[in-house]
Amino acid sequence: MNNKLYIVMVGLPARGKSTTATKIMEDLRHDSVRVRIFNNGDLRRKMVSTNTSLAEFYDPNNREAVFIRERIAEINLAKAKKYMKTGGDVAILDATNASIERRNKIQAVLNDHPILFIECINNDEEILNASILRKIETSEFSHLSTEEAIRSFKKRISYYIPIYSSVKDEPNFIRINSLYKTVLREEIKNTLPYYDQIRDFLVTDTIKHLYLIRHGETFFNLENRIGGDSELTENGLSQAKDLAEYFSQMEIPLIFTSQKKRTIQTAEPIKAMQKKCTIIPIAEFNEIDSGICECMSYGEIREKYPFIYSDRKKDKYNYTYPEGEGYASMKERIDRGINKVMYLSNSSSNIMIIGHRAANRMILSHFLFRREEDVPYIYIPQDKFYYI
C-alpha cells in the first residue's frame, strides 16, 4: 500500500494556507508521520538577494520576476520529490498555486504519489486586514512604513486575482473556509493515505495553551455598574503589572482583547514585557450589551426596572436585556471571535485572551462543556485566570 501523499495548498495570499499547512504537519507528526513543508515564500527569501516585499515583484508583466518565481516553484517541487524518495511520508507544497496551469505542472512533476489539493478561502475583510498586519511584521517589510507595507501587500494580492482559479477539475481536493473551518466542497477520486485524519483535523479547533484573563479592576467595578467603557483603577493597573511580571518569561506573540479600554489597558503592560507582541482588539469579545441598563448598578436596575431584575433571575442564560443582548444571543459572536483567534494565532503555542466576565464565561464554555443554565454563574475573578 502507498502510504505517501503530496498536499498542495491553494489560495490567495493571507487566506490561511500556511497556518493550515503548519497545523496539518504538527498533527501528523504526533502520529509519527514524517512530514515536511516546502514553502515557496521561505525559499524566495533565501534565494533572492533583492527585496521582494514590493508588489511589482508579483506583476505578471514583470518577466524577470516571473522567471525567478517559476524557478523557485520548480526547485521546491524537486525538493519535495526528493524528500519523498528519501524517507518522507507527506510533503506539503505551500504556495498560492493560484492558476490551473501551475497546478497542472505540479501534477505532471509529482507523478509518483497521489496529490491532495487543499484550497483555503476567506473573504472576511476584517480578518484579511489583520492577517496582512501579521504578514508585514516580518523583516521583509521592515524598510517600509506600516501604510506602505499594507498598500504593497494588497497590491500583491491584486496581481493574483486575475489568474486565480478555484480547484474543481483536480482529482482530489478539499475547499475549506479557513476562518470557520467548514468544508465548502470536496472531491476525492483516489484512495488517499491519512485523508480521514486530515479532513477531520481541518474542521477541528486545536489549541496548545490558552490563557483566559479578565480585565483588571475598574471604577465601574467599585460601583457595581455593568457595561460601559470604564478605565482601570490604580489597583487594576497594579493587577495588570502583576500579570505582566508573571508572563514575562513566556512567549506571548498575540494578545486578543475586546475593544473596551479596560481590556486593552490590562494587555499593555504584558505587551511591554514581551520581546515581540501584538494586541489585537476584537469586537466579538466585547462585554454583554445590557441595553437600557447599560452603565447602571444592579441596585439601580432593581429599583428602576424591577421586572428586568426579576425576569432575568428566572432564566439568566436565555434572558435578553431590552435593546441589548443576553448570554444566548452572544453565542454566535463569541464563537466567531474564537474562530478569528484560532485563525490569527497561527501555530503559536501560547494564546492569550483578555475579556470580560460574561464574555469570558461564554469563551470558557466553548472549550469546556457547561450546561447552559450554569454558564452565567461560572466564576470569573479579576485576580486569577483560567489556563486551558
Catalytic residues: 214-215, 221, 262, 287, 356
Tell me how far apart the terminal alpha carbons of the chain are, to the nearest angstrom. Answer: 39
Contact indicator for 274, 251 with CB cutoff of 8 Å: yes
What φ, ψ does residue 190 adopt, rounded to 5°?
-120, 165
Q: CA 242, 247, 249 angle in degrees (round to 5)? A: 125
Contact indicator for 76, 95 with CB cutoff of 8 Å: yes
The total number of residues shown for the chain amounts to 388
- Give rounded-to-5 percent helix, strand, coil for the chain: 50, 15, 35
Contact indicator for 118, 7 with CB cutoff of 8 Å: yes
The SS3 call for residue 81 is helix
Rg (the chain; Cα; Å): 24
Cell digits of residue 152: 504593497
Q: CA 230, 221, 293 angle in degrees (round to 5)? A: 75
Burial classification of residue 131, based on how many CB atoms lie within 10 Å of its CB (0-12 exposed, 13-18 middle, 19 or more buried): buried
Distance CA 84, CA 4 (A): 7
